[in-house]
Amino acid sequence: MSELPRLTAAQAAARLGVKPESLYAYVSRGLLSRERDASGSSFDPLEVEAFALRRRRVAPRAVEPTGGGMPLMVLDTALAHLEDDELFYRERSAARLARESTFDEVVRWLWDVPVLRGPDEADLALARRTVAALGAAATPLDRLLVAVTAFASTDPLRDDPSVEALARIGARLLVGLPAALTEAVPAESPIAETLWTALAGRPRAGGARLIDAALVLVVDHDLAVSTLAARVAASARGSAYAIVTAALGAFDAPLHGHASRDAVRMLRAVQGGESPAAAIARAVRDSGRGIPGFGQPLYAGGDMRAVVLRELLHAAPGGDEVVDLVDAVAAEVARHADTRPNLDLALAAFALWGDMGEDAGAVVFAIGRLAGWIAHARDEYDQKPMRLRPRGRYVGPAAAD
């Protein structure tokens, strides 16, 4: 039987119904293989067909009604969307932005503002004193939350209901919150540099650059519960401080913002000499929420944010040692379950590489996502107020006669 003719890149992309850029993203992530010669790239038609079938099987299901017949909430969003396993912010690839742009640049583009202006020295000093007063038992997210309140308390324009105020206050928080966690960096430093110092406490080549990439990759992702909380507060025309406080309340949870914590503990156990199998087993038992750092239902071939961070970490000085730990854990998981690493495992690996605390991933996640919360709030301010107040339906016992 003669070998089937190979597909050109254009033919393979057409068969999958994707753009050429997405096709090559599949190649770079190991989901498809290709051969290259003088005439260009070519693809195995059978492999392409099998991949097309896998993509169809994991296509998102239509929104299903709840038991009472009301559909799940679906909100239009003009910020982030997934297309063929690739994350885009509006029309731009999040992976490419993470590799080529700083977080500050991305935020200025998303918000359409020329500069991110932080708090003045007096307001920052008060926030730092407020954070320091919490004591050692406070979590990093506790510190972020009280810092938000501290910055709100010194802002006479905190209740300005304009869209412009959202960007002004958002910049004040994005610059000010990392600075409130450390005394060692001037307030005008880039956000990633300040955050690296706050979390790691010492210089390391590539550290701030990796935080930049991570911040960009977590800006937005479908409509997470914290983002919904931000939009609900914005629907009631809350201030940017109120919006971020509401979002942090939903974010500060084991199924959302804290998801990387268990993954850090699992990787540290392997780093300390425990076998991947034993570390995974204990992590699953202790967390009670599945395998920490694995699984993301929105992707057919694995979380692209984890792929990008893994690549950048592998290229960082000493990063290959941490990546080897991640790969060992991933290989053990793959022996037993059809699931792949997600963003939380990548954030955990980054925290391990930077010798940071187990909550470092949550802090990076919160600061990066704050940019998305403000972007969503700006969109919500353009909608009818209070549109996100659902109607309740009583399902309790009948009233007594």
Work out the average pLDDT over 319-348.
95
CA distances from 274 to 72, 95, 132, 280 (A): 43, 33, 36, 10
Work out the average pLDDT over 8-31.
83
Residue 188 has pLDDT above 80, yes or no: no
Non-local (6+) Cβ contacts of 68 within 8 A are 393, 395
Helix 343-353 to helix 319-334 angle, to the nearest 10 degrees?
Answer: 150
For domain 96-256+359-381, give the fold: Citrate Synthase; domain 1 (1.10.580)
CA distances from 232 to 58, 164, 385, 391 (A): 30, 19, 10, 14
Work out the average pLDDT over 7-34.
84
Work out the average pLDDT over 24-31.
81
311-320: per-residue pLDDT in tens? 999 999 999 9
**DSSP symbol at 285:** H
Non-local (6+) Cβ contacts of 300 within 8 A are 54, 55, 58, 85
Work out the average pLDDT over 133-149.
95
- Burial state string for 246-284 with b = 16 or more CB within 10 A and e = fewer than 16: bbbebbbeeeebbbbbbbbbbbbbbeeeeebeebbeebb
SS3 sequence, 116-156?
CCCCCHHHHHHHHHHHHCCCCCCCHHHHHHHHHHHHHHCCC
Nearest to 366 by CA among 156, 182, 147: 147
Question: Is pTM, for the whole model, over 0.85?
Answer: no
β-pair partners for 89: 80, 92
For domain 259-353, give the fold: Cytochrome p450-Terp; domain 2 (1.10.230)
Residue 401 has pLDDT above 70, yes or no: no
- What is the pLDDT confidence band of residue 1, given thresholds at 50, 70 and 90? very low
251-299: per-residue pLDDT in tens? 999 889 998 999 999 999 999 999 999 999 999 988 877 899 999 988 8
Residue 60 has pLDDT above 60, yes or no: no
Q: Which of 73-77, 289-293, 332-336 has the highest mean pLDDT?
A: 332-336
Q: Angle at CA 203, nearest 5°, toward 197 and 204?
A: 120
CA distance 310 to 300: 18
Work out the average pLDDT over 295-316.
93
* Domain boundaries of the chain, sorted by first residue: 7-49, 96-256+359-381, 259-353
- What is the pLDDT confidence band of residue 4, given thresholds at 50, 70 and 90? low
Nearest to 364 by CA among 342, 341, 348: 348
Residue 68 has pLDDT above 50, yes or no: no
- Supply the pLDDT for residue 9: 87
CA distance 211 to 198: 12
- Supply the pLDDT for residue 187: 63
Q: Angle at CA 190, nearest 5°, toward 189 and 191?
A: 110
- Supply the pLDDT for residue 154: 97
CA distances from 346 to 55, 116, 211, 260 (A): 24, 28, 12, 8
Work out the average pLDDT over 170-188.
90
- Supply the pLDDT for residue 347: 97
